[in-house]
């Protein structure tokens, strides 16, 4: 049984029990409220209705919690992938793209006309920003794997 179906049944049962608890009857010509003759029965009905509504609210809270958590996870994953490009400098993005294409540090230095130590500095900065330890992790992170 789905959570939505359970909720619908609990609401219907709660309404029924509430209506039963305020019911009345006729004894001859006298009008008697149900609770006047048997006071424990409506109290039990209301108690049962209370717990049914409480259970329904628990299901609703769990559903909302699940939706919020899944939305948070989705947003945090998108944010990680989108934010690093804003944190990297233009040169660091160029170095990262060359790393992604499989070039070595010497080849990157030659291609960008910068020294090998500058390439290494850029790579270290990239690792810190992306929170990775090596080229493989950096490539996986930028490609969303």
pLDDT, tens digit, 9 for 90 and up, residues 90-139: 899 999 999 999 999 999 999 999 999 999 999 999 999 888 999 999 88
CB neighbour burial string for 120-141, b if at least 16 within 10 angstroms, e if fewer:
eebbebbeebbebeebeebbeb
- Condensed to tens digits (0 to 9), the pLDDT of residues 44-88 reads 777 877 887 788 788 888 888 899 888 888 776 666 555 677 788
In contact, 20 and 35? CB cutoff 8 Å: no
Q: 39 by DSSP, 3-state: which?
A: coil
User: Alpha-carbon distance 39 to 23, whole Å?
Assistant: 12
User: pTM for this one?
Assistant: 0.45
Cα Dmax for the chain: 106
CA distance 107 to 133: 21
Cβ 130 vs Cβ 141: under 8 Å? yes
């Amino acid at each position: 049984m789905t959570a939505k179906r359970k909720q619908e049944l609990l609401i219907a049962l709660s309404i029924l029990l509430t209506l039963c608890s305020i019911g009345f009857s006729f004894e001859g010509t006298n009008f008697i409220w149900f609770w006047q003759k048997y006071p424990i029965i409506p109290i039990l009905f209301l108690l049962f209705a209370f717990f049914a509504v409480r259970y329904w609210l628990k299901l609703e809270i769990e559903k909302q919690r699940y939706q919020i958590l899944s939305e948070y996870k989705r947003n945090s994953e998108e944010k990680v992938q989108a934010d690093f490009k804003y944190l990297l400098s233009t040169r660091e993005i160029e170095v990262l793209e060359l790393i992604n294409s499989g070039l070595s540090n010497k080849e990157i230095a030659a291609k960008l006309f910068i020294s090998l130590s500058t390439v290494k500095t850029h790579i270290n900065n990239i690792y810190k920003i992306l929170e990775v330890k090596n080229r493989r992790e950096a490539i996986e992170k930028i490609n969303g794997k």
